[in-house]
């Protein structure tokens, strides 16, 4: 099994859109991918059937590749049961070559006394209100940290 469980998109500090990450993973033959942007799960809302990739925009409608499933187009898995945590969450199922299994995740900053670490969280449900509130709180803390750093640099004349 080939996987990349730590990717970033333009929703945080990455250079590729969420769809470009999926297309690259598919091209490279990955079985599993997780988008783990800093303090946000916004990438998952951008992965919808109406989103067009750069290659699709220049191709005729009939040659469009298969789109990622969304809430409006049910997720296809090898079982009719709801996938368990860590199994196929978005995609055509484990080890599918058509679309890599996408495990929703995020990279969150945590602090213990003076030690700041980044934690990778997997299996998040981007639609749950608790996850949305947690990510909003994380982004607020990140913004406050940036403002403190800017103030400190200004005080030093930088």
Tens-place pLDDT, residues 118-155: 999 999 999 899 999 999 999 898 899 899 999 999 99
More confident residue, 56 or 111: 111
pLDDT of residue 112: 85
**Largest interatomic CA distance in the chain:** 62
pLDDT of residue 129: 94
**What pTM was estimated for this model as a whole?**
0.65
Tens-place pLDDT, residues 97-125: 567 899 999 999 888 888 989 999 999 99
């Amino acid at each position: 099994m080939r996987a990349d469980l730590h990717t970033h998109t333009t929703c945080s500090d990455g250079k590729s859109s969420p769809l470009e990450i999926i297309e690259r993973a598919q091209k490279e033959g990955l079985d599993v991918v997780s988008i783990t942007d800093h303090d946000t799960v916004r990438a998952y809302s951008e992965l919808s059937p109406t989103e067009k990739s750069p290659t699709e925009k220049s191709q005729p409608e009939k040659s469009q590749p298969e789109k990622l499933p969304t809430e409006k187009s049910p997720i296809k898995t090898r079982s009719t049961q709801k996938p368990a945590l860590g199994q196929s969450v978005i995609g055509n199922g484990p080890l599918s070559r058509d679309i890599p299994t996408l495990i929703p995740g995020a990279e969150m900053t945590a602090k213990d006394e003076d030690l700041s670490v980044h934690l990778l969280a997997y299996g998040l449900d981007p639609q749950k209100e608790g996850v949305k509130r947690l990510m909003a709180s994380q982004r607020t803390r990140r913004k406050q940290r940036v403002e403190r750093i800017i103030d400190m640099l200004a005080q030093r004349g930088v």
